[in-house]
Amino acid sequence: MRRFPKDFAWGTATSSYQIEGGRDSRGETIWDQFAKTPGKVHNQENGDIACNHYNMYKEDVALMKELSIPSYRFSISWARIFPNGDRVVNEEGLQFYENLLDALEESGVTPIVTLYHWDLPQALQDKGGWMNRDIVDEFVYFSETIFNRFGNRVSQWITHNEPWVVTWLGYGAGEHAPGYKDIPSFLKAAHHVLLSHGEVVKRYRELNFTGEIGITLNLNHSYPASNTPESIAAARRADGFLNRWFLDPIYKGEYPADMLTIYKGFSDFSFVQEGDMETISVPFDFLGINYYSVGYSEEKKGDWLGVEGVSGGHRRTAMGWEVYATGLKDLLVRIKDDYANPVIYITENGAAYDDKVENGEVHDPERVEYLYEHLEACLDAIDAGVRLKGYYAWSFLDNFEWAFGYAKRFGIVYVDFHTQQRIPKTSAKWFKQVMETNEVPLPVSTSKN
Ligand code: PNW
């Protein structure tokens, strides 16, 4: 059987708003507001309680240990540290993360920490959020506060989680907080998110920390739906929209020319100032990739991007997302080839299914199948020379799945949101074996259709 390298990093991932709860101990965030707005979140659910991890972190870390999880990716809630989006620190918030890090250390679980996983203090949104360039300084101040407190005990940092989701779904499509629907706002917000990434990397180095710092992007491999020149060109635009718009600035210091031509029809890009692209492309240590699904494109006349997403005919998860693990291998190899073979971590990969408790157990063969196929794809990529150093399953716990509320379960651990009971699913037991052996055993039962 093929094996992952000895030093391969295994773990599971979460984010603050999705699991913590503890609403009384932090300031208001854009997701609190968004969740209150009728029609935005399934059943108008919110993260006030979520998995109650704020109060149950000790049990949760004990469960990580039980499941042989060597590393844990979590995010820090900006509004727990600066509840009013100013520079007045909430010591209680810092103390929570200190306690969490203590518990992880006692259990031998290595932390990897995301600085921004979407829960912006509402007070900063009131000043324009990511559309206001001033937010860059605020994000640097927040990050510096975190580095100064925890920089000696956390050696891997992620500046941003998924700038495309933050800015397209938040400012362009209106599906996520703050809920704007405006292409120029998307472009401006994306620029400030990227700029803040570069500024935080620079500050981390200036402070002389010796750990690693990177950024996580959500990427899909983009395939043409057919072999026509129109279809191939459409897939290229879809790739520019989702992938290259973020990859090119951070690695090459420029926005992709073909996309600029399209976007200049929407924005004059006056928000790009001298020196910005140098800052955005400051060297960083690793690329985090969140991979879930695949995209197939056909040309669509009259659409602003000229792209119609079409089905590739693969099976789907409960999110309706198509499952295609070869897309992960193709994506990883493409990044190796186009962006000078960077160190990569899969910082999220996983699937939602309609899990049910039966006799106190949760059997999720489809999730095992999903993880199996994607881990095989990771091995293929490593064989092809990709410098893949780790893999984090999304998610440790079922949690608040943004606009879908609690209706979509991504956890390898089931959460009963009434009792807060945790039940490790079959996938958790299977993944435990993977993490312990570095091998990927064939799933016992398969669900392929
Ligand atoms: C990621 N899309 O979000 C996030 O990092 C997680 O917080 C989230 O729970 C997880 O994936 C599952 O959704 C995404 O529409 C949300 O393409 C939406 C998309 C991609 C990623």
Tens digits of residue pLDDT in 247-295: 999 999 999 999 999 999 999 999 999 999 999 999 999 999 999 999 9
Would you state the pLDDT for residue 1?
A: 84
In this prediction, the residues of the chain whose per-residue pLDDT falls under 70 are 445-449
User: How far is residue 248 from each of residues 180, 232, 252, 326, 421, measured CA to CA in Å?
Assistant: 25, 20, 5, 23, 44
So where are the chain's domains?
A: 9-437
Are the CB atoms for 258 and 271 separated by under 8 Å? no
Active site residue 348: yes
User: How far is residue 148 from each of residues 25, 145, 151, 153, 206, measured CA to CA in Å?
Assistant: 22, 5, 6, 10, 12
Return d(Cα 220, Cα 307) in angstroms, integer: 15
ipTM: 0.91
User: Which residues are annotated as part of the binding site for substrate?
Assistant: 18, 117, 161, 292, 394, 401-402
Are the CB atoms for 81 and 49 separated by under 8 Å? no
Would you state the pLDDT for residue 445?
A: 61
Would you state the pLDDT for residue 444?
A: 78
Would you state the pLDDT for residue 363?
A: 98
Nearest CA to ligand 1 atom 15: 165
Active site residue 274: no
Would you state the pLDDT for residue 115?
A: 99
User: Which residues are annotated as part of the binding site?
Assistant: 18, 117, 161, 292, 394, 401-402
Tell me if residue 152 falls in helix, strand or coil: coil
Residue 337 sits at φ, ψ, to 5 deg, of -70, -40
**Domain 9-437 belongs to what architecture?**
Alpha-Beta Barrel (3.20)
Mutational pocket test of ligand 1: of 19, 119, 164, 290, the residue with most ligand atoms within 8 Å of the beta carbon = 290
Which is the closest atom of ligand 1 to the Cα of 175? 15
Mutational pocket test of ligand 1: of 394, 399, 412, the residue with most ligand atoms within 8 Å of the beta carbon = 394
Return d(Cα 56, Cα 422) in angstroms, integer: 11
Q: Rounded to the nearest whole angstrom, what is the distance from the C-alpha of residue 402 to the centroid of ligand 1? A: 8
Return d(Cα 216, Cα 232) in angstroms, integer: 27
Would you state the pLDDT for residue 448?
A: 45
Q: Rounded to the nearest whole angstrom, what is the distance from the C-alpha of residue 359 to the centroid of ligand 1? A: 31
